[in-house]
Structures are given as C-alpha cells and as structure tokens.
Amino acid sequence: MSKNDSQHISKLYGLNAQQVEESRQRHGANVLTPPARRSLWSQFIGKFNDPLIKILLVALLLSVGISIYEYTTAIKPAGEVLFEPLGIFIAIVLATLVGFLVEVNANKKFELLNKTNDDIKVKVIRSGKVTTVSRRDIVVGDIVILETGERIPADGILLDSMSLSVNESSLTGEPVARKSHLPEVVAEHSETTYPMNEVMRSSSVTEGHGVMEVTRVGDATEYGKVFTEAQIENDLTTPLMQQFERLGKIIAWGSYIIAALIIIGRMTVFFLDAKPDTTIETIEYIIETVMLAVTLIVVSVPEGLPMSVTLSLALSMRRMLQSGNLVRKMHACETMGATTVICTDKTGTLTRNQMNVYHANFYGLGDGCTLGDDEPSAVIKECIACNSTAFLDDTDPTHIKALGNPTEGALLLWLNDAGVSYIQLRVKSKVLQQLPFNTENKFMATLDDSSLTGKRLLLVKGASEIIWKYCNCVAC
C-alpha cells in the first residue's frame, strides 16, 4: 500500500475481543445457514416418488399374488415362481439405491467445500493491530483490508480505496465494477445497482486495494439472501419426469384396457361355447382368466427402464464432476440436457469468466501480428509484461488463469500463448517509476529501463490501446 494508505490504516483501531463477541451475539456468525437436512431414510424413501418406480411397486404386488397362486395350485415349482417378483424387486432396489448413494456423496462434497471456504483467512484490524482471522469469524463492525485477488468476506462500506474494482458477476453480472469511498464520486454514480462505496460478499477484488467496515454478515448479506432463496424446494417436475408420468399413464391404462378386454373375451367365449359342468370349474376358469390379465399387466411394465435412467444420470454427474462441476441433484443433469435456449445478457455468469484476445493488430508486426526478435516486438513484449498489475496462475498447466485486471490478464495470456514468459521480462526489466491506472487519468504508465532494446521506455496503456514511447525527456 501507499504511504497515505498506511497512515490511514494506522488510525483505525477496529474491534477489541469483547466487542467482537458482543457483535457475534447480536448479529450472528459470518456463515450461511444450510438448508434443513432430511434424514437419510427420508431421502431414500423420496426416491420411490418416481412414476415408473410406483408402477414397478404395483407390478411387484401383482407378481407376488401371481406367484402365490401358482405355488398353491402347483402350476410351477417353488423355485420358478420367485423369478418374476425377485427380478422386479432387484430392479426397484438398484434404481433407488444407486440414485440415493450418488446424491448423498454429492451432498457430502458440497458440505466439505462450504466448510473449506469458511476457513479462508482474511486480513482485519483488531485492537489497533493487523491480523488474520477465518472468514467465518468476521463480525459486524470489523475493519477488513482488501487486496487484489481476494474475495470479499461480507457486505460492507468502504472507508478507503485506491483504484478499486471488484467482480460482481455473481450478483449483478458485472465483471468489473468500479468502487470508491469518495462522497462526490458516489453521488455522481448513483444509478449503479449497488452504491459505489458498498462492496458485497462473494465479490472479488480485480484491481486496486481498499479498507472496508463490515455492515452485514452471514444470511443478512445480499449473497446470503440469494443463497437462501436458492435453497427453497419447489414442486416443478423436470422434462424427463413429465415424460415418465405420461409414459406411466399410457402403460397403466393400456394394460388395464387390454386386460379388461381379455377378461370380457374369455368369459364371453366360455359361457357361449362351453357349458360348465360344475361351479368349481367355472370358478377355476374365472381365476385363470383374472391371473392371465394380471400377468399381462405385470409383463407390460419395463423393469429395466428406471435403472437405465438412473445409471445414465449418475454417469452424467460423474462426467460433470470430472470437468469441475459439482451437481447436487441427479435430475439437474437431465434438466441441463433438455435445455434448448439460454438467455443471458452478461459475460462472466455463464461463460468462462475470463477475457481473451480475439484479434491483435500492432503497428509494425504485419498482418499476422507474430512476435519476433525485432525491436517493435521487444517493446510490445515489455509493455504487456511490465506495464501491468496482473498475474497468471499456472498451477494447472492445462488451464492457466488470469489474476487481477481482466484486460491485463487477457494480454498476458496472449503473450503466454506466443511462448513468451512475462515473469522473465519483469525480472530482467528495471521499473523506475509507475503511475497506476485510475478512473481520473484513465491510463497506466511505467517508466522502464528496457533490457531488450537497451533504451529507456515510457510505456503507456490506455483503456483500449497500448502505446509505447521512447523517453527523451531531460531527466532521462
């Protein structure tokens, strides 16, 4: 931080231990209240609400009745009569058990992820000293120091700021929202979604730094309200469930109608063509006719369909997890697969949330804009690498992420794709002076003693262009 920032922070005392505890008792902890957890048993029972599972349960009862009849009348051996009901029972158990276990495992991962996020350390001022505490321990009234790349732990009011920009895409869709603590700037930009002197939980600092006083924590934050609304269960059925309900009705009514026609037809033929000798023969014929109709209903139910659907959704959840997306409910995969149109007006919400250079057009590099070993290429490399506050996170070489200002990060990614290490350029260069970007100047300038060109360069980067100038001033 600058000298003025350090002097300003030193004047802030923050809360003492007693005030922290009193604030926590009055306003609560800085954690989001998880939804009421259903017992494992109720979650397992809920899997039987599937329309096809209900049909299979009815088919199981009818199959058991048929098996009992066949066993008592010795139509089939004792071992064979169990095949049909046992197969239906196994299909029901597998279809419900697989879905239950997959969702329980996903919920455990969500709980672990939320717990890890709450343990992230945050810089605060307490009792006049700068210290770090877990995000969950932040209370209303805390003085929090914000730096580039950090996530804002709670809602608050800015006490100080310098070229501060935050990523509010999770709340408003704005990947770059300018913030300031100055009253005249706040009054000038009163049309913004949130006041310019307010920062929100779940936002991240993309540029600059600042100091905030916490005003809301936990469920009371704007993000907490969104989180609470997102947990409300609704009775909307997914497209696949709607199709299953229609299929279930077709199977049920179709089998019932055919079974009724079989009963009517057999009874008509029996009483018209055959003359029953005894009442017992008539009763036996009626029972055989009814059992034939029931058997038709049982065999018309596709026992393997629920299991196939469950396995397909479970495999979809696994593929989503491998691509870095954790899904809580299996049917969410089916809903996403059924989506045909996505309407969005903001970048950073449904996109990769990372800017990239689509086309480069630098003077002196030709149409292809290919970097070489000539002097213009050397100046462009140094301008992008040194006149910047962004960094690249290459922990995962397959997915390099930009940290800091999105535009500067995009330029560093372009440089990296060209096989140029910006870190080596920064290490070799000698920065003499630097003017950071701010909303008043609308440009960033760096006075650099170039190691590539052997000349002193004044590197200037505007909001939408990169300019370099040879410095010929008297001071140089």
Residue 351 forms part of a structural domain: no
pLDDT band at residue 95 using 50, 70 and 90 as cut-offs? confident
Q: Are residues 152 and 26 part of one domain? A: yes
Q: Are residues 384 and 242 part of one domain? A: no
pLDDT score at 5? 45
Question: Is pLDDT above 60 for 466?
Answer: no
Higher pLDDT, 416 or 439: 416
> Domain ends where: 226, 257, 281?
226
Q: Are residues 142 and 25 part of one domain? A: yes
Alpha-carbon torsion (116, 118, 123, 126), positive or negative: negative
Q: Are residues 153 and 23 part of one domain? A: yes
377-385: average pLDDT: 82
Which residue, among 337, 294, 284, has the nearest Cα to 64 in the 3D structure?
A: 294
Tell me the β-bridge partners of 433. Answer: 447
Question: Is pLDDT above 60 for 164?
Answer: yes
| pLDDT > 90 fraction of the chain, expressed in percent and rounded | 6
Q: Are residues 142 and 23 part of one domain? A: yes
166-186: average pLDDT: 84
Domain, as residue range, for 210: 3-30+138-226
CATH code, domain with 431: 3.40.1110.10
> Domain ends where: 306, 321, 339?
306
Higher pLDDT, 253 or 349: 253
CATH code, domain with 15: 2.70.150.10
Structural domain count of the chain: 3
Lowest mean pLDDT among 170-179, 370-379, 452-461: 452-461
Summarised one tens digit per residue, pLDDT across range 6-18 is 434 444 778 888 9
What distance lies between CA 311 and its chain's CA centroid? 23
Q: Are residues 209 and 181 part of one domain? A: yes
DSSP string of 329-381?
SHHHHHHHHH--------TTTSS-S----S----TTSTTTT---SSHHHHHHH
Residue 61 forms part of a structural domain: yes
Which residue, among 99, 206, 228, 200, has the nearest Cα to 148 in the 3D structure?
A: 206
pLDDT score at 214? 93
Residue in the block written with tokens 């672990």: 112
Amino acid letter, 68:
I
Q: Are residues 246 and 180 part of one domain? A: no
Residue 162 forms part of a structural domain: yes
Question: Is pLDDT above 90 for 156?
Answer: yes
Q: Are residues 431 and 453 part of one domain? A: yes
DSSP string of 370-411?
---SSHHHHHHHHHHHHS---EEE-SSTTS-EEES-HHHHHH
pLDDT score at 79? 63
Question: Is pLDDT above 70 for 438?
Answer: no
pLDDT band at residue 117 using 50, 70 and 90 as cut-offs? confident
Question: Is pLDDT above 80 for 301?
Answer: no
Q: Are residues 149 and 25 part of one domain? A: yes
pLDDT band at residue 454 using 50, 70 and 90 as cut-offs? low
> Domain ends where: 273, 291, 306?
306
Q: Are residues 149 and 108 part of one domain? A: no
**Region for 400 from its dihedrals, namely left if φ exceeds 0, alpha if ψ lies in -120 to 50, beta otherwise:** beta
44-72: average pLDDT: 75
pLDDT score at 463? 46
